[in-house]
Amino acid sequence: MIDHLDFAENYSFVINEEVQGYHWTNSQMTIHPFYCQWADDTGKISSRTITILSDTLEHNANTIERFRRKFLEKIKAIHPNISKIYWVSDGTGAQYKNKNSFINVMQYKALYNIESEMHFTVSYHGKSECDAASAVIKRSLRSASIRDKKSYWMLGLLLNTVN
């Protein structure tokens, strides 16, 4: 399985009929998509995007590890026979390319019985499937939040259940 991962920019909530002061104190959340591809026994390639939404605004090795573990739980439920995963990301040192991240990935064989390799593209390599997934989610959130108060309330429930 090949998994592309990349943080999206933090999403700032927009509220319909917001008071002027909200502009300076608005809430934010992190969007982190995982775009994975795998081949089945017949060679058919499948793909799936799994996105983590969180109120954690820190983009560091500890945060990415929590997100990876959540991703692995979900992908093992979908694809239980996974034996190896290739992580592909840009070379961001604070998030993916540091000793803590390497140590965490080395433990996946013992924790999940999954061999792991990390691969890096050039920083600022352009747009990927992760960027497309982030754009769709941001657009959907913005549309729902300005539609009406009920939609915004439901967004709050969504955030509280994802973390």
Q: What is the largest CA-CA distance in the chain?
A: 57
DSSP string, 92-121: -TTTTSSHHHHHHHHTHHHHHS-EEEEEEE
Asked whether the whole model's pTM tops 0.85, one would answer no
Domain boundaries, the chain: 2-162
Could you read off the pLDDT of 89-142 as tens digits, one per residue?
Answer: 876 666 777 777 778 788 888 888 888 888 887 766 667 777 778 788 888 777
Q: Is 3.30.420 the CATH number for 2-162?
A: yes
In this structure, of 14-23, 35-44, 47-56, 66-75, the range with the lowest mean pLDDT score is 14-23
Please report, as a single letter, which amino acid is at residue 138: K
CA distances from 74 to 16, 69, 108 (A): 34, 9, 15
